[in-house]
Amino acid sequence: MLISMYKLRKSESLPVHIVEQHNDVVPFIHRAIASKLLPFHDIAIIHLDSHPDLLLPINLDADTVFKPQELNEALSIENWLLPLTYAKHLNHIVWVKPPWAHQIQASEQSFTIGKCLESGKVRLSCKENYFLTDGLFCPPQELKDSCEVKLTVVEMLPEKWYDTDTSCTSSSAPQAQRRLNDGHQQEESQAVFSTPERWAVLLKDQLLDKPYILDVDLDFFSTANPFKNLLGHEEERALRNLYHYPALQDTSDETVITFTKTREKQINELENIFTELEINLGTKRNHPCKVSVDDLTAMDVIGKSSLDIKQKDDLVLLCNSLLLNPAYREIPFIQLHDFGCTLDDTELPHHISTPPEVHALHSAFKKVLEVLPRPTVVTISRSSTDGYCPVETVDVYQNDVLKLLENLYGSLKISEDYE
- pLDDT tens-digit map of 209-256: 899 999 999 999 999 999 999 999 999 999 999 999 998 889 999 999
- pLDDT-based confidence at residue 181 (cuts at 50, 70, 90): very low
Higher pLDDT, 161 or 316: 316
Share of the chain above pLDDT 90, in %: 84
Say how many C-beta atoms besides its own lie within 10 A of residue 219's C-beta.
Answer: 29
Q: Please answer whether residues 295 and 276 qualify as being in contact, where contact means their C-beta atoms are separated by less than 8 angstroms.
A: no
221: enclosing H helix or E strand: none
**Spacing of C-alpha 90 from chain mean position:** 16
Is the pLDDT at 400 greater than 90, yes or no?
yes
Torsion-angle region of residue 165: left (phi > 0), alpha (psi -120 to 50) or beta? Answer: left
For 25, 150, 175, 188, 271, the CA distances from 182, given in Å and listed in that order, are: 36, 27, 17, 11, 43
Q: Could you say which DSSP state residue 284 is in? A: G
Angle at 23 between CA 19 and CA 27, to 5 degrees: 80
Hey, what amino acid is at 11?
S
Distance from C-alpha of 111 to C-alpha of 136, rounded to nearest angstrom: 12
- pLDDT-based confidence at residue 173 (cuts at 50, 70, 90): very low
Enter the pTM of the model. Answer: 0.91
Higher pLDDT, 95 or 181: 95
Distance from C-alpha of 343 to C-alpha of 243, rounded to nearest angstrom: 7
pLDDT of residue 35: 96
pLDDT of residue 162: 66
Distance from C-alpha of 108 to C-alpha of 322, rounded to nearest angstrom: 43
pLDDT of residue 185: 41
- pLDDT-based confidence at residue 164 (cuts at 50, 70, 90): very low
Q: Please answer whether residues 171 and 345 qualify as being in contact, where contact means their C-beta atoms are separated by less than 8 angstroms.
A: yes
Question: Residue range 351-378: average pLDDT?
Answer: 97
Distance from C-alpha of 183 to C-alpha of 197, rounded to nearest angstrom: 12
DSSP helix/strand/coil, 399: helix
Is the pLDDT at 39 greater than 70, yes or no?
yes
Rounded to 10 degrees, the C-alpha dihedral 382/383/384/387 comes to: -170
User: CB burial class (10 A; 0-12, 13-18, 19+) of residue 205?
Assistant: exposed
pLDDT of residue 2: 47
pLDDT in tens, 281-301: 987 877 889 999 999 999 999
- pLDDT-based confidence at residue 188 (cuts at 50, 70, 90): low
pLDDT of residue 6: 57
Is the pLDDT at 4 greater than 70, yes or no?
no
* Residue of 13, 8, 12, 15 lying closest to 379 (CA atoms): 15
Mean pLDDT of the chain, nearest integer: 92
Is the pLDDT at 5 greater than 90, yes or no?
no
